[in-house]
Structures are given as structure tokens and as C-alpha cells.
């Protein structure tokens, strides 16, 4: 397995995802002789994991079971250990498309943070592209390097520990795209421009606050970027549920049954409503929105280097 | 990789996209081909050789000319008002008439000049606030300074273009929804993808772009053949198409049940026309001419019709023996050609069937006008376990049904029904706000991950269903996950 290439069977050293149920999962480093505790019991790597097909059901010691999944950047994003606030797949998707990333692309990113976006970028530019990622926090930079190594993608990424606003990305005139997720992106626009290839490079800046966006757009204009465009994207999830609604009792129009009230024995009424009229309910399937949803992550500003 | 690449140049034969503001149009780059775009007409000849991304002006002769970088005359603190309380919109503030402006245009006055003239001849301009003046100038520039940028097609450009111009052709798939599909589906180099779409080939093109020519794609298609109009706009190198296969939906059930054969191919209008000609009987005139427009014009084609209509032909020498002998030779060649084509098609079909039979695809993307359920359930059989699948539907309700059927079938986890909400912003100093109009809807997605299918264990599938759908209050929050 690797984050950039599918494999069929679980091997020693793989990072696999243990799926317990609805939105309940966690990553695990597969290792001979190790065990992993879950609420359904113990998983023994040597017997339960290694050699099994990805997607298999594994029964744990207490009798409950889990599924073992092949890692993907999307699953990694949902399960990685947070060192910073991360970008989720909704934003990552639009960033990838708007920056026109594809196999062979050269991308620059700062800050690396917890590596959520990094993994997704590496996956997209593989096998011939490269990610230059800059992180000013020394431990985070080191942790990122370690993870890329463990995930078998270190040949596609270079982690540099420096301040992108002062020292740039470490490359010039080669990048197809630059991504900024830092507190003061306007201070890095100049460096972004020099990292980008001569013509047609794309830039994206992600900022939670509109004031940051304003400063960044101004800087982009000053540095001659064109097609400057700011947008935001939000995910709305629906739960599929069968809903039963009660029919209210409005009484009878007259003492006998020949009234104008709702008559459940009338064939035309039965046709138009679902079953359970006898119980006084109507059933239907609905996509129910969640009670709460993410209302804001950040504004995404894109532009082109002319 | 494109290290240090100075920029891709516009070449004859390319599919290029014209851009003016937020309006896009895809056109073939051909010499002496008149293009009409945004109320202007011109030839692309002069653009050939320039780098993509160059902005052009249309000259009086209908030619393109790269726009000179003009120093924007920095507006020194000009006269401006504070608000609009005294500005009356009586439609009389502009002193130039339609005819005046037309006269200026005819004289060949540049757009910039015209805008300047409009400002000078507006009685209310100096009373407007600075912001209103800014807005006025922008609006006039947009109308009179006709600049066109020629951009290189990409998923970003084409999906935006199609959504704005021809959303019906792509089932109203908004570009951010497409972006989600590509990521949720983990589309990347080396995958073996199954794609079923009726979006003019846009989704296929997007998948191909993200695969970079690595891996393979099997495109499932309804009817006689896949539509790839948008795919050709991407400008992919030929090698990308070496691993692009297609397979007819009409053969899916036979493939799954093991009764598949290449003997009966889906009906092809070309085949029908040729068959009828061979029989030398009554040639269906309509079908022959249909076939003609599909093939490259050759000298044989018109003569073939005439052979059938010998009585009415205007050609002399139809009775000529030599003529008849040549006709027979041509017929034999056509038969051979037709047989070769049939053989080719059968071979490709067998290859595609073999790839599907392996049942180890790395992912499935569905985006079509059809009801998703009857598509998704059979096609999932071809996908390996622990792989993502994404289904797009313009409407939510069919996906509710699809979700339910998937739960009954089992073998899928992490099902999610979602849509994305997209908003564009105007960002200007002291004038930042969301834009005034936005898309009302961009379609819905149902995504999930396959797992090893546990057939014949109805108890456990119920248990699975129960486990999967814990009622909302008991659902664990993301932070509590790490057991």
C-alpha cells in the first residue's frame, strides 16, 4: 500500500484505517506482534491484519467486528493527529481543482501544519510532481517529515523549516501553483511570485478573516496577479432517514362516517399517502440536514501569475 | 514535469478557451475561421504562436492584437461627491447619444478613449462618490474596452464554462461539486477507474486530467457510443487515450451473469448503412447520407448513392463496363474496411470486458441523467473492496432511494449524502461583500467506500445497518474517536 498507490493486501509497516462504525475510525500502524485495543476487543496484527485483503471484516476478541480500510488522503484528513487546525476535504477539493493540479505538477505550500493538505497534494501530483512545503515550527516540520517517510511518499516532498515570509519557498521559477495558509499571507506574495513559473502559475491563499483577505488581494494586485477571485465553499450533509409523521385528529364532520373529514377507507386517499394510515401516521424518506453544520472555515482567494 | 517551462503556446488545431470577464467560450484554433464571441467577430490567426494567457484586443479588421500594457492614469484626487441625495436619475445625464458613440467607434477610437469621453460628457459624474465613480468606470470599461484572453483549457476552465453556458448538457453539475467528486473518489495516477457519465465527456476529461495518462479508465456508455465532446477540449496527448476503454451499459447484465458475447454489438448507424448498401437493394437514402457526414468525404461516397439510383443518375457512363469493374473493386475494399473496423471494435470490447471481469477497479464515478440506483448497484460489482465511489445526481430524492438500496445490499460503508454551498466575494477596500447572485444549487453527491461483501448473512447485514445508523444524539463527536 501507499498513499499514492493502491495495494490489495495488508502488509507489515502499512498504515491502515480501522473502521468501527458510523464516522468512527482511527489509523493504525501495522506491525508484527503488536495488538490494538478497540471497544470490540483486541486486534492482533500478525493474525488478524497482515496478509488480509483491504476491506475485510475483522472480528475482535470480544466478538464485535471492524473493517480495515486502505489509507487515502481523505481518510487521513479525518483521522490524523492534529498539531494545528487543519483543512478538510471540502476546501481541499476546490483548492486542487482551482490550482489546476495534476500528475507532474510542482506545488509550493506554507504552512505545512498537520500535513492534511500536504498528503492530498502529494497524491495529486504523484508520480512525477513534487511538493515543496515550508513550516516555520521546527517540531511540526520534523513530525511532517517523519509522517511522509512512514507513508512512503517522502520522495515526492521536501519539507523546509523556515519562515516563508522572510525566506520564501526555497525554489524559484518552477512552481505550477503556490498555496498559502499563514497568518500574514500578503507578506509572502512576493516570494510566491518568484517561486512560480514565468507564465500561467496559480496561487491560492486561505484566510479565516476578511481583513486578511483584503490585504492579500491588494498585495496580489500590486504584484501583478490577474483573475483574482475570492470564494468560500461549505459542505452540507444529509442524514437519510425514514420519517413518520402523525395525522392529526380533526374529528368527524358529522356523527356518522359519511362526512367530509379525512376518510382512510376512501381508495383515492389511500393511493396518495403511504401505509400506516390505520395507525394514523404517514411515512416518507427524507434527507435530513444535521442540527449543526460547519458555517465557516476560511475564504479562498485564487489568482493567476501573468 | 514543467520545470522552468516558459509557457505553452497557442497552436493551430488546439482547442482554446476565449475569456472575457467571467464569460468563457471554447473554440477550435483554425486559420481564417470567423469567431463570434461577446458581440465581436474576429479571426484567431494572429493569436497562433502567442502564449496562453495573453490578452488581445480586436482591431477594426477583425484581427487580434496583443493588448499593450498601458499605465493606468492614476486618478489624482479628482472631484467627487459624498452621497447620492441630489443625484436624479432622469436618463439625461449622458450628453453623448447612441449615434455619437457609434461614430466614435467607427472612427476607430479605442475603448479607453470612449470611456474617457463618456466620463467627460456625464453631467453627474463629478457628483458621484469615489466608489460610484469607480463602479461607473469599471462598467463602461467592461462594455467598451473589449479585451479577450485566450486561456488553456483545464477542468477548472471547462467546468466553469459548461456550468455557465450549457448546464443542461452536464446535468447542472456545478464545478465545485465536480471538484468534490474528484477528491472523494481519490482520483489519481495509476488508478483503474470506472466512469459512467452523460455530461458531454466533461467528467471523463476531469478524471483523465487527474490521472495524467497513468492507469486505465473504462467508460460505461448508454446507447450506441460515448459522447466525448468536452473531453476533446482538454487537449490531452494521444497517449492518454491508449488506456481509455469503453463498454456498453446494455451488456452489463450479460457480463455479470456470465453470458456476455461480442456477437451482438450495440447497433451502430454506420454499420447499418453499409450493410444496406452491400445488399445492393433499396438503399435508404437518408441513412447513406447520414453515414457520409460521419465519414471523411471520399470520391466513392457520392458514387455509391448513384449506383443505387442508377435510373435517376445525372452521370454519363454508368453503363460503361470499366466503370462497373472499378465499382466492384471499390465495393470489395469497403467490405474489407468494414470488416476490419468490426474486428477492431470486437477486440476492444473483449478487452474492456476482460478488464471489468477482474472486478478490481479502484473506484467508480457516476454522473448521469439516469436514475442512479439501477446504475450504481450493478457497477459496484466491478469495484474492489476498500475503494471509494461517488454518485452525482441533480436531484436529492433518487439518492435517498439509492442510499436505502445500498444499505440493503451491504458491502458499503461510510455512506454520505451531501451537497456543497458555494459563494463568490467582491473584495475591495471598504467594499467587501459576497457577490449579489449565487448559484441556487449544484447537485448532490452520494459517496461511500466498498468493503468485502458478506453475501447470504442477512442477520449480520441488519446488525451492520443498526450499527451504521446510530441515532443522532448517541453519535460520537470527531474528537472522541481515538479509542
List pLDDT tens digits, range A239-254. 999 999 999 988 888 8
Residue of B nearest to A232 (CA): B423
C-beta atoms of B423 and A124 within 8 A? no
Asked if B205 and B61 sit in the same domain, the reply is no
Nearest CA in chain B to A56: B452
Task: Report if residue B267 sits inside a domain.
Answer: no
Q: Which of B88, B112, B141 is the last residue of a domain?
A: B141
- Shared domain check, B252 and B362: yes
Shortest distance, CA B109 to any CA of chain A (angstroms): 26
Which positions in chain B touch A21 (Cβ < 8 Å)? Answer: 467-468, 470
Q: DSSP state, A54?
A: T
In this prediction, residue B141 carries a pLDDT of 86
Residue for cell digits 457497477? B379
In three state form, how does the secondary structure of chain B look? CCCCCCCCECCCCCEEEEEECCEEEEEECCCCCEEEECCEEEECHHHCCCECCCEEEECCCCCEEECCCCCCCCCCCCCCCCCCCCCCCCCCCECCCHHHHHHHHHCCCCHHHHHHHHHHCECCHHHCCHHHHHHHHHHHHHHHCCEEEEECCCHHHHHHHHHHHCHHHHCCCCHHHHHHHHHHCCCCCCCEEEEEECCCCHHHHHHHHHHCCCCEEEEEECCCCCCCHHHHHCCCCHHHHHHEEEEEHHHHHHHHHCCCCCCCCCCCHHHHHHHHHHCCCCCCHHHHHHHHHHCCCCCHHHHHHHHHCHHHCCCCCCCCHHHHHHHHHHHHHHHHHHHHHHHHHHHHHHHHHHHHHCCCECEEEEECCCCHHHHHHHHHCCECCCCEEEEEECCCHHHHHHHHHHHHHCCEEEEEEEEEEEEEEECCCCCCEECCCCCCCCCEEEEEEECCCCCCCHHHHHHHHHHHCCCHHHCCCHHHCCC
Nearest-CA distance A257 → chain B (Å)? 37
b vs e for A236-270, b when ≥16 Cβ sit within 10 Å of the residue's Cβ?
Answer: bebbbeeeeeeeeeeeeeeeeeeeeebeeeeeeee
Q: B54 and B125 share a domain?
A: no
Q: Strand, helix or coil at A28?
A: strand
* Domain limit, last residue, from B54, B69, B84: B69
pLDDT score recorded for residue B144:
83
* CB-CB neighbors (< 8 A) of A16 in chain B: none
Residue B352 forms part of a structural domain: yes
- CATH of residue B19: 3.10.330
Residue in this structure with the C-alpha cell 456498453, named with its chain if needed: B248
- Spatial separation of the C-alpha atoms in residues B250 and B222, rounded to whole Å: 7
Domain shared by B16 and B46, yes or no: yes
Is residue B328 a part of any domain in this protein? Answer: no
**Angular region, A260: left φ>0, alpha ψ -120 to 50, beta rest:** alpha
The pLDDT score that the predictor gives to residue A14 is 95
Assess whether B33 and B124 both reside in one domain.
no
Q: Which of B248, B219, B261, B234 is nearest to B361 (CA)?
A: B219
CB neighbours of B269 closer than 8 A, spacing ≥ 6? B224, B287, B290, B291, B294
Mean pLDDT of chain A: 92
Q: Which grid coordinates belong to A91?
A: 476546501
Kindly state whether residues B249 and B167 are assigned to the same domain.
yes
Based on the structure, what is the number of domains in chain B? Answer: 3
Residue B125, in any domain of the structure: yes
Cell numbers for A278: 390505520
The residue with greater pLDDT, B465 or A145, is: A145
Q: How far apart are CA A18 and CA A107, in angstroms?
A: 31
Residue B137 and residue B167 in one domain: no
Examine the domain organization and report whether B346 and B253 are in the same domain.
yes
The domain spanning residue B251 has which CATH number?
Answer: 3.40.50.150
Do B134 and B161 belong to one domain?
Answer: no
Of B154, B386, B420, nearest to A235 by CB-CB distance is B420
Using CA atoms of B49, B53, B58, B61 in order, give the dihedral in degrees to the nearest 10: 10
Q: Say if B312 falls within a structural domain.
A: no
A255 is in an annotated binding site: no
In chain A, how many H helices and how many E strands?
Answer: 8, 14
Distance CA B69, CA B25 (A): 24
> Do residues B15 and B102 both lie within one domain?
no
A187-229 confidence digits (pLDDT tens): 999 999 999 999 889 999 999 999 999 999 999 999 999 999 9
Query: Which set of grid coordinates corresponds to residue B222?
Result: 448508454
In a domain, B366, yes or no: yes
Does A150 belong to an annotated binding site? no
Cell numbers at residue B175, please?
Answer: 464545478
The residue of chain A with its CA nearest to that of B55 is A306
Q: Measured between beta carbons, which residues in chain B are less than 8 angstroms from residue A97?
A: 155-156, 159, 175-176, 178-179, 182
Residue B369 has which C-alpha cell?
A: 441523467
A251-279 residue pLDDT tens: 888 865 554 445 555 555 544 455 455 56
Pick out chain B residues at pLDDT < 70: 1-6, 69-77, 264-319, 455-483
Shortest Cα distance, chain A CAs vs residue B150, angstroms: 12
CB A103 within 8 A of CB B211: yes
Question: In terms of CA atoms, which chain A residue is nearest residue B1?
Answer: A104
Residues B242 and B366 in one domain: yes
Chain B residues near residue A304 by CB distance under 8 angstroms: 53
Please name each of the domains of chain A with its CATH number: 9-71 (3.10.330.20), 75-234+297-305 (3.40.50.150)
Q: Is residue B163 located within the same domain as residue B232?
A: yes
pLDDT (mean) for A145-161: 97
- Rounded average pLDDT over A2-28: 93
Retrieve residue A21's grid coordinates.
Answer: 462504525
Q: Is the ipTM of this complex over 0.85?
A: yes
Residue B17 resides in a domain: yes
Note down the domain range covering B102. 98-141
Contact B421 A93 (CB under 8 A): no
Closest residue in B to A82 (Cα–Cα): B479
In a domain, B423, yes or no: yes
Question: Which of A38, A77, A200, A208 should we substitute to test contact with B (largest number of B Cβ atoms within 10 Å)?
Answer: A200
pLDDT at position B75 is 54
> With a CB-CB cutoff of 8 Å, which residues 27-56 of chain A face chain B?
37-39, 53-56
Q: Which of A64-68, A100-104, B35-39, B140-144 has the lowest mean pLDDT?
A: B140-144
Amino acid at each position: 500500500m501507499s498513499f499514492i498507490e493502491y495495494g490489495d493486501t495488508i502488509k507489515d509497516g502499512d498504515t491502515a484505517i480501522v473502521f468501527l462504525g458510523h464516522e468512527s475510525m482511527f489509523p493504525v500502524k501495522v506491525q508484527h506482534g503488536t495488538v490494538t485495543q478497540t471497544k470490540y476487543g483486541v486486534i492482533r496484527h500478525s493474525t488478524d491484519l497482515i496478509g488480509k485483503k483491504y476491506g475485510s471484516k475483522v472480528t475482535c476478541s470480544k466478538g464485535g467486528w471492524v473493517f480495515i480500510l486502505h489509507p487515502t488522503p481523505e481518510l487521513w484528513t479525518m483521522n490524523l493527529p492534529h498539531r494545528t487546525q487543519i483543512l478538510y476535504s471540502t476546501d481541499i477539493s476546490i483548492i486542487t481543482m482551482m490550482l489546476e493540479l495534476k500528475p507532474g505538477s510542482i506545488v509550493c505550500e506554507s504552512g505545512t501544519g498537520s500535513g492534511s493538505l500536504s498528503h492530498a497534494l502529494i497524491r495529486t501530483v504523484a508520480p512525477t510532481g513534487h511538493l515543496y512545503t515550508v513550516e516555520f515550527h521546527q517540531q511540526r516540520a520534523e513530525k511532517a517529515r517523519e509522517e511522509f517517510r512512514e507513508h512512503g511518499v517522502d520522495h515526492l516532498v521536501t519539507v523546509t523549516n523556515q519562515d516563508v515570509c522572510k525566506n520564501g519557498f526555497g525554489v524559484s521559477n518552477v512552481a505550477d501553483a503556490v498555496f498559502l495558509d499563514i497568518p500574514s499571507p500578503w507578506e509572502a506574495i512576493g516570494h510566491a511570485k518568484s517561486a512560480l513559473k514565468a507564465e500561467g502559475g496559480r496561487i491560492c491563499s486561505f484566510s479565516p478573516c476578511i481583513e486578511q483577505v483584503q490585504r492579500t488581494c491588494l498585495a496580489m494586485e500590486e504584484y501583478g496577479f490577474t483573475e483574482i477571485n475570492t470564494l468560500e465553499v461549505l459542505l452540507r450533509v444529509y442524514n437519510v432517514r425514514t420519517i413518520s409523521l402523525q395525522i392529526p385528529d380533526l374529528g368527524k364532520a358529522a356523527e356518522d362516517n359519511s362526512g367530509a373529514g379525512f376518510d382512510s377507507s376512501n381508495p383515492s386517499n389511500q393511493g396518495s399517502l403511504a401505509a400506516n394510515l390505520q395507525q394514523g401516521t404517514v411515512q416518507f424518506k427524507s434527507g435530513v440536514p444535521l442540527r449543526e453544520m460547519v458555517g465557516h472555515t476560511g475564504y479562498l482567494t485564487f489568482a493567476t501569475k501573468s | 514535469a514543467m520545470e522552468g517551462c516558459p509557457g505553452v503556446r497557442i497552436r493551430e488545431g488546439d482547442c482554446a478557451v476565449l475569456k472575457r470577464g467571467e464569460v468563457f467560450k471554447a473554440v477550435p484554433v483554425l486559420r481564417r475561421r470567423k469567431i463570434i464571441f461577446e458581440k465581436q467577430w474576429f479571426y484567431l490567426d494572429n493569436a497562433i504562436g502567442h502564449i496562453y494567457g495573453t490578452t488581445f484586443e480586436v482591431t477594426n479588421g477583425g484581427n487580434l492584437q496583443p493588448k499593450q500594457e498601458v499605465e493606468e492614469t492614476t486618478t489624482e484626487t479628482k472631484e467627487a461627491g459624498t452621497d447620492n441625495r441630489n443625484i436624479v436619475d432622469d436618463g439625461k445625464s449622458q450628453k453623448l447619444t447612441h449615434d455619437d458613440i457609434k461614430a466614435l467607434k467607427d472612427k476607430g477610437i479605442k475603448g479607453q478613449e470612449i470611456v474617457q469621453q463618456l466620463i467627460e460628457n456625464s453631467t453627474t459624474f463629478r457628483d458621484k462618490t469615489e466608489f460610484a465613480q469607480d463602479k461607473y468606470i469599471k462598467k463602461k470599461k467592461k462594455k467598451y474596452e473589449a479585451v479577450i484572453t485566450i486561456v488553456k483549457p483545464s477542468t477548472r476552465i471547462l467546468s466553469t464554462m459548461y456550468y455557465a453556458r450549457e448546464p443542461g448538457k452536464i446535468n447542472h453539475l456545478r464545478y465545485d461539486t465536480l471538484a468534490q467528486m474528484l477528491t472523494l473518489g481519490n482520483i489519481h495516477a495509476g488508478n483503474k477507474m470506472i466512469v459512467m457519465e452523460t455530461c458531454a465527456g466533461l467528467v471523463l476529461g476531469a478524471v483523465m486530467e487527474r490521472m495524467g495518462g497513468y492507469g486505465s479508465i473504462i467508460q460505461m456508455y448508454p446507447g450506441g457510443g460515448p459522447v466525448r465532446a468536452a473531453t476533446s477540449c482538454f487537449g490531452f496527448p494521444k497517449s492518454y487515450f491508449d488506456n481509455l476503454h469503453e463498454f456498453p451499459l446494455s451488456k452489463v447484465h450479460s457480463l455479470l451473469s456470465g453470458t456476455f458475447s461480442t456477437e451482438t454489438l450495440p447497433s451502430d448507424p454506420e454499420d447499418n448503412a453499409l450493410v444496406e448498401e452491400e445488399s445492393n437493394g433499396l438503399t435508404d437514402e437518408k441513412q447513406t447520407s447520414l453515414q457520409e457526414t460521419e465519414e471523411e468525404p471520399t470520391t466513392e461516397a457520392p458514387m455509391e448513392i448513384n449506383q443505387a439510383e442508377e435510373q435517376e443518375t445525372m452521370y454519363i457512363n454508368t453503363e460503361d463496363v470499366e466503370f462497373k469493374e472499378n465499382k466492384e473493386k471499390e465495393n470489395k475494399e469497403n467490405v474489407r474496411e468494414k470488416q476490419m473496423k468490426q474486428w477492431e471494435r470486437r477486440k476492444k470490447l473483449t478487452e474492456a470486458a476482460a478488464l471489468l471481469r477482474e472486478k478490481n477497479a479502484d473506484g467508480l464515478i457516476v454522473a448521469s441523467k439516469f436514475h442512479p440506483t439501477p446504475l450504481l448497484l450493478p457497477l459496484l460489482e466491478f469495484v474492489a473492496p476498500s475503494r471509494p465511489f461517488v454518485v452525482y445526481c441533480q436531484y436529492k430524492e433518487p439518492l435517498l432511494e439509492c442510499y436505502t438500496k445500498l444499505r440493503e445490499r451491504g458491502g458499503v460503508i461510510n455512506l454520505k449524502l451531501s451537497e456543497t454551498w458555494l459563494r463568490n466575494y467582491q473584495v475591495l477596500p471598504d467594499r467587501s461583500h459576497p457577490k449579489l447572485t449565487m448559484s441556487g444549487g449544484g447537485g448532490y453527491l452520494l459517496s461511500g467506500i466498498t468493503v468485502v461483501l458478506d453475501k447470504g448473512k442477512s442477520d449480520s447485514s441488519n446488525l451492520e445497518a443498526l450499527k451504521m445508523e446510530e441515532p443522532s444524539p448517541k453519535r460520537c463527536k470527531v474528537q472522541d474517536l481515538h479509542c
